[in-house]
Amino acid sequence: MPGFVDLHIHSRFSSDGDFAPAELIAMAREAGFAAISISDHDTTAAYPEAVEAAVGTGVEIVPSMEVTTLFEGREFHLLLPYLDWTSPVIARIAERVSAGRLIEARERVARLGELGLDLSWEDVEAASPGAPPLGVAIAQILLDKPSSKNVPALRKYFEGPARTWAPYHFYRDYFMDGRPASVVKRHMPLLEVLDAAPGSGAVPVLAHPGAYFENATRGDLAALKDKGLAGLEVYTSYHTPELTAFYRGLAAELDLVPTAGSDFHGRIKPHVRFGDIRDGGPEILEQLRVRRRQA
C-alpha cells in the first residue's frame, strides 16, 4: 500500500477543528495519503461518518481519539488508534474526560471575566457546539470577538510576532499553571487510560512528547512503556529536527512504535498545513497491528 500515514488529524467534532470528516478524507486522497486517523479531543463523534465517507476513496481510516490526561502533574495527550468507537470502555473514558473539561472551561471563562475580559459562557457555547472547549479554543473565541482588538492587554495577539500563534501565546500567558486564569486540571490519570484502553482494541500512542506542556523524558517513557504504552509520535509539527532525532532514538531504545501525526486542526493552527508530515508510511500501521495482536 503506497502513500503516507497521518495518525493525528482533527475534525469539526473537536472543540478546535474546522473540517468535516468527508472534507479531511478528500484532502488526504488529494495529498497522497494511504491512511489517516481522525483523532478528535476526547470524542469519537466523527465516527462512523468518517468510515462511511472513506468508502471507495482508497484512504484507510484508522479510528482513534486523543485523550487529555495527567501524568506526574503534567498534561499528556494519548492517541488511541485502532479503537472500537462503539466500545463501552471508550464511552466511559470520553464521558469522564469531557465532564472534567466542561468544569475547567467554565472556570477559565469565569477567571477571564474577573480579569475584565469580555467573554461570557454564552459566547463560548455558541462558538463550540458539541465537545467542551480546550483552553486554546477559548482563547480563539475571545480573540475572534471584534471588541477584543480594542483591549490594550490583548493588542500583542493582533500585532507583532505573537500574531501567528495568537491563541497559543494567550494560553501560555493566561492558562498555564501559575498564570492569571489558570484552573485546577481535572483530566483523567494517564495510567488509568493505559490500563483501560486495550479493552477497546486501542493501541496507546503518546502524542507530541516534545510539546512544551509535556516535555516527556526517558524516565517518563520507560515508566509508561511498563504500563502499556505501545507507540510514540516521533514525527509531528511540535518537534524540531533535534527533538525528532531525540525521540526517534528513545522509541528505538524502548521498543515503542514511532508514529507520524501532523496535529492538523485548520484555522486555529495556521502554521500546520494538511499533509505537512510525510515521514510515516504503511509500516507504521503494520507495527501497530502487531502490538494490538500481542495485547
What pLDDT is recorded for position 147?
A: 94
Give, in order, the Cα–Cα distances in Å from 28 to each of 55, 65, 180, 279, 287.
13, 18, 40, 15, 21
Total residues belonging to the chain: 295
CB atoms within 10 A of CB 191: 16
- Does residue 142 lie in a domain region? no
- Does residue 30 lie in a domain region? yes
* Residues 218, 216: Cα–Cα separation, whole Å: 7
pLDDT values of the chain reduced to their tens digit, one per residue, 295 residues? 569 999 999 999 988 888 999 999 999 999 999 999 999 999 999 999 999 999 999 999 999 999 999 999 899 999 999 999 999 999 999 999 999 999 999 999 999 999 999 999 999 998 887 778 989 999 999 999 999 999 999 999 998 887 878 999 999 999 999 999 999 989 999 999 999 999 999 999 999 999 988 999 999 999 999 999 999 999 999 999 999 999 999 999 999 999 999 999 998 888 899 999 999 899 999 999 999 998 8
- Does residue 37 lie in a domain region? yes
Q: What is the CATH number of the domain that holds 254?
A: 3.20.20.140
What pLDDT is recorded for position 163?
A: 83
* Residues 74, 72: Cα–Cα separation, whole Å: 6
- Does residue 200 lie in a domain region? yes
88 in Cβ contact with 121 (< 8 Å) = no
What pLDDT is recorded for position 164?
A: 78
Helix (H) or strand (E) holding 5: strand 4-9
Domain total in the chain: 1
* Residues 62, 181: Cα–Cα separation, whole Å: 37
| Span 87-137, pLDDT tens digits | 999 999 999 999 999 999 999 999 999 999 999 999 999 888 777 898 999
- Does residue 119 lie in a domain region? no
Q: What DSSP designation does 173 have?
A: I
- Does residue 56 lie in a domain region? yes
Give, in order, the Cα–Cα distances in Å from 276 to each of 20, 98, 99, 272, 273.
19, 29, 33, 7, 6
- Does residue 155 lie in a domain region? no
Domain containing 195: what range?
Answer: 4-95+187-294
- Does residue 221 lie in a domain region? yes
Global pTM reads 0.93
Nearest to 31 by CA among 273, 237, 275: 275
